[in-house]
């Protein structure tokens, strides 16, 4: 039997998480069963369970995937010269989240589940810790380059801005999920105006 490569396994996991995301978007987390994910993916139950033990594991993989993409964005932008303004970067992160998760209400479901399920809460805390580190690197680079701060001053400035950046993203997600009249473009424009740079 030919050996399965890690690249193949990663591609198959992505295929399963994409199918799960479509199911979650139409039925919600609670309303989606493993049978739904199996049917949506077109794979066998054995193929699904060969990659994930449960729906909970798939939810974790979806959340990690979305935030992982955003951290890649932040690392890429931090290495750009000149470093883009914080408002531009925070807007890009939010647009990326919206692109990865077609229905922001899914993220609200994950956050809600985190209040009652320790495993989901641990995942979110881990993911947000990584996101904070990526923001810290980016904001520190920007403050050093554009504000002329020394390393300690730039890091302190960045640490103060991180909760604001995360809060703006959470506000975007909540409002776009709940309010039909929410103007995403106006929100993004306001972020670029409100944040430094």
pLDDT tens digits along 96-155: 877 776 677 778 887 887 888 887 788 888 888 888 988 898 899 899 999 999 999 999
- CATH 1.10.357.10 assigned to 56-194: yes
The H or E element that residue 149 is part of is: none
Q: In the prediction, which pLDDT does 82 show? A: 86
Q: Which of 75, 98, 101, 82 is nearest to 147 (CA)?
A: 82
What pLDDT, on a 0 to 100 scale, did the predictor assign at position 69? 79
Residue 104 is predicted with a pLDDT of: 77
Binned at pLDDT 50, 70 and 90, residue 183 comes out as very high
* Mean pLDDT for the stretch of residues 157-164: 95
- Give dist(CA 189, CA 191) in Å, integer: 5
- What's the CATH class of domain 1-53? mainly alpha
Residue 47 near residue 4 (C-beta atoms within 8 A):
no
Indicate the pLDDT class of residue 45, thresholds 50, 70 and 90. Answer: very high
Q: Residue 161 above 90 pLDDT? A: yes
- Would you state the pLDDT for residue 2? 58
Please indicate whether the domains covering 1-53 and 56-194 agree at the CATH topology level.
no
Q: Is the pLDDT of residue 167 over 90?
A: yes
* Cα–Cα distances in angstroms (integers) from residue 21 to residues 18, 98, 176, in the given order: 5, 13, 18
- Per-residue model confidence (pLDDT) at position 140: 93
Query: Is the per-residue pLDDT at 1 higher than 70?
Result: no
Distance of alpha carbon 67 from alpha carbon 128, whole angstroms: 8
The tokens 């495993």 sit on which residue? 119
144 touches 82 (CB < 8 A): no
Domain coordinates of the chain in residue numbers?
A: 1-53, 56-194
Helix axes 105-114 and 6-31, enclosed angle (nearest 10): 80
Q: What is the pTM of this model?
A: 0.77
131 CB contacts (<8 Å, ≥6 apart)?
Answer: 67, 70, 71, 74, 166
For the chain, give the number of residues. 197
What pLDDT does 102 receive? 62
pLDDT tens, position by position, 46-97: 999 999 998 888 887 877 777 777 778 877 887 888 888 999 888 888 888 7
């Amino acid at each position: 039997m030919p050996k399965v490569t890690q690249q193949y396994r990663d591609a198959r996991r992505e295929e399963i998480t994409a199918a799960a995301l479509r199911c979650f978007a139409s039925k919600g987390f609670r309303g989606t069963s493993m049978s739904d994910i199996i049917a949506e993916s077109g794979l066998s139950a054995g193929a699904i369970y060969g990659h994930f033990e449960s729906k909970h594991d798939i939810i974790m993989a979806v959340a990690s995937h979305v935030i992982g993409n955003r951290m890649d964005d932040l690392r890429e932008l931090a290495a750009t010269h000149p470093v883009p303004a914080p408002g531009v970067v925070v807007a890009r992160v939010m647009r990326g989240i919206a692109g990865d998760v077609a229905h922001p209400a899914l993220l609200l479901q994950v956050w809600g589940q985190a209040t009652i399920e320790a495993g989901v809460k641990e995942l979110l805390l881990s993911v947000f810790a990584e996101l904070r580190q990526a923001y810290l690197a980016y904001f520190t680079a920007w403050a050093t380059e554009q504000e002329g701060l020394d390393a300690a001053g730039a890091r302190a400035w960045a640490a103060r801005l991180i909760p604001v950046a995360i809060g703006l993203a959470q506000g975007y997600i909540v409002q776009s999920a709940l309010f039909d009249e929410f103007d995403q473009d106006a929100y993004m424009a306001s972020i670029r105006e409100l944040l430094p740079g």
